[in-house]
């Protein structure tokens, strides 16, 4: 399938690491799990999901975010979707074409860390700036 992450509904372009995400998919095997912490409107995770789907590999993503924006980032807190607490709805809508490989987990990073046994995931990519 064609990539969707450049569509306007994904908003801000903070995704500067597509080559790294492509490499994860190239190197991981069937049954692998990738955790992305910090997903915002879904741009980077949608890129990763399309790469996974196109690879034909059985790789799943846990997408962790509070979907409240980083508390001390003024730009996040000014975002209209954050203000009306609809960032998560926008994320779900944006990832809907690739939702079969993404498991959204609406928690802080610290809370979510307790969900995982040691060595139970293959990649953890953190793009979240606050200790919550």
Ligand X SMILES: C[S@@+](CC[C@H](N)C(=O)[O-])C[C@H]1O[C@@H](n2cnc3c(N)ncnc32)[C@H](O)[C@@H]1O
Binding residues for ligand X, rule: CB under 6 A, are 14-15, 37-40, 43-44, 64-70, 108-109, 127-130, 132
User: For residues 58 and 85, which CB has a smaller minimum distance to ligand X in the complex?
Assistant: 85
User: For residues 56 and 103, which CB has a smaller minimum distance to ligand X in the complex?
Assistant: 103
Least distance from C-beta 84 to ligand X, angstroms? 15
In angstroms, rounded to a whole number, what is the distance separating the alpha carbons of residues 16 and 9?
18
DSSP bridge partners of 63: 36, 104
The beta strands (E) that lie in 49-98 are given as: 60-65
User: For residues 122 and 127, which CB has a smaller minimum distance to ligand X in the complex?
Assistant: 127
Nearest to 45 by CA among 113, 84, 97: 97
């Amino acid at each position: 399938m064609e990539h969707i992450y450049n569509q306007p509904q994904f908003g801000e372009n903070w995704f500067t690491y597509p080559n790294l995400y492509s490499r994860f998919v190239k190197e991981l095997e069937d049954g692998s799990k990738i955790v992305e912490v910090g997903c915002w409107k879904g741009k980077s995770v949608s890129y990763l999901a399309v790469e996974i789907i196109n690879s034909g590999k059985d790789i799943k993503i846990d997408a962790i975010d509070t979907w409240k924006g980083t508390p001390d980032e003024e730009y996040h807190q000014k975002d209209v979707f954050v203000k009306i607490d609809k960032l998560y709805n926008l994320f779900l809508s944006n990832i809907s074409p690739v939702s079969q490989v993404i498991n959204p987990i609406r928690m802080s990073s610290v809370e979510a860390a307790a969900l995982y046994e040691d060595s139970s995931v293959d990649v953890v990519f953190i793009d979240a700036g606050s200790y919550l």
